[in-house]
Amino acid sequence: MKVSYHGHAVVKVEANGKTILFDPFISGNGLTDLHADDVKVDVILLTHGHNDHVGDTVELALKNDALVVAPFELAEFLSWQGLKVHEMHIGGKHKFDFGTVKLTQAFHGSSYTDYETNSITYTGMPSGILLTIDGKTIYHAGDTALFSDLKMYGEQHDIDIAFLPIGDNFTMGPEDAVIAAKWLNASTVVPIHYNTFPVIKQDPYAFVSNLPTNVGKVLEVGESIEL
């Protein structure tokens, strides 16, 4: 199984002949190495409805006939645009042909902004995502503050790799992410959601240096790891 990072919160998983994308913010993402026109995807997993996470979902899903898995209100919103969706909610899990998805809590907001009409559409609760595939568990925390139930997720699940936001301002910063990493007890922890905008500028290597040896891993944009 190949897992790669593509800037901001974009994570790609390739396994069992399927390509799965988390939060495909590509167009307008100055840090990504992806080009929306070239992306092939079978499944899109969304943590919440903010524009920098929904990103190119509509275009990619329509072009690739991809399934979109998202929290209920966000999935409904996207289904009205002709997308094939599977609705879920926090605490629920579902077994798909590509693996099992479980939504976890995230402490953040969730809405989609239309800048042409100056309107905001509420898209329900934000979430994190636990993806279990080929006997491996991947945790994408989405955008979140530090919260104590992360310790419970670490106790309940054997997490092979966790993607944690470190940007601060909108999410937890590096100090809180170090605590989250300890609670989750994942084999590998990768920082995400930093440096895309000036207000979330961080040093991922400094973050990783505060984690136990061989746990923290900075994935440069386009870099991958084998699980």
Provide the domain count of the chain: 1
On whether residue 227 sits in a domain, the answer given is no
Mean pLDDT, the chain, rounded, equals 98
Does any domain span residue 224?
A: no
CB burial of residue 221 (10 Å; 0-12, 13-18, 19+)? middle
Q: Would residue 195 count as lying in a domain? A: yes
d(CA 8, CA 37): 19
Domain that holds residue 58: 2-218
pTM of the predicted structure, to 2 decimals: 0.98
Please report whether residue 123 resides in a domain.
yes
Q: Quick count: other Cβ atoms within 10 Å of Cβ 148?
A: 8
Q: Residue 24 carries which side chain, given as an amino acid letter?
A: P
Percent of the chain past pLDDT 70, that is, above it, reads: 100
> Which pLDDT score, from 0 to 100, does residue 100 have?
98
Of the candidates 16, 8, 6, 115, the one whose C-alpha atom is nearest the C-alpha of residue 52 is: 8
> What's the CA gap between 151 and 80, in Å, rounded?
37
Residue 146 belongs to domain with CATH number: 3.60.15.10
String of b and e for 21-47 (b: at least 16 CB within 10 Å)?
A: bbbbbbeebeebebebeebebbbbbbb
Which residue matches tokens 């901001």? 8
> pLDDT (tens digit, 0 to 9) for every residue of the chain, 227 residues total?
999 999 999 999 999 899 999 999 999 999 999 999 999 999 999 999 999 999 999 999 999 999 999 999 999 999 999 999 999 999 999 999 999 999 999 999 999 999 999 999 999 999 999 999 999 999 999 999 999 999 999 999 999 999 999 999 999 999 999 999 999 999 999 999 999 999 999 999 999 999 999 999 999 999 999 99
Question: In what helix (H) or strand (E) does residue 189 lie, and over which residues does it extend?
Answer: strand 188-192
pLDDT tens column, 37-52: 999 999 999 999 999 9
Closest CA to 104 of 115, 90, 116, 86: 90
Q: Let me know if residue 167 belongs to a domain.
A: yes
For the beta carbon of residue 116, count every other beta carbon within 10 angstroms.
6
pLDDT one-digit tens code per residue, 165-211: 999 999 999 999 999 999 999 999 999 999 999 999 999 999 999 99
Query: Has residue 61 been placed in a domain?
Result: yes
pLDDT for res 185: 98
Per-residue model confidence (pLDDT) at position 73 = 98
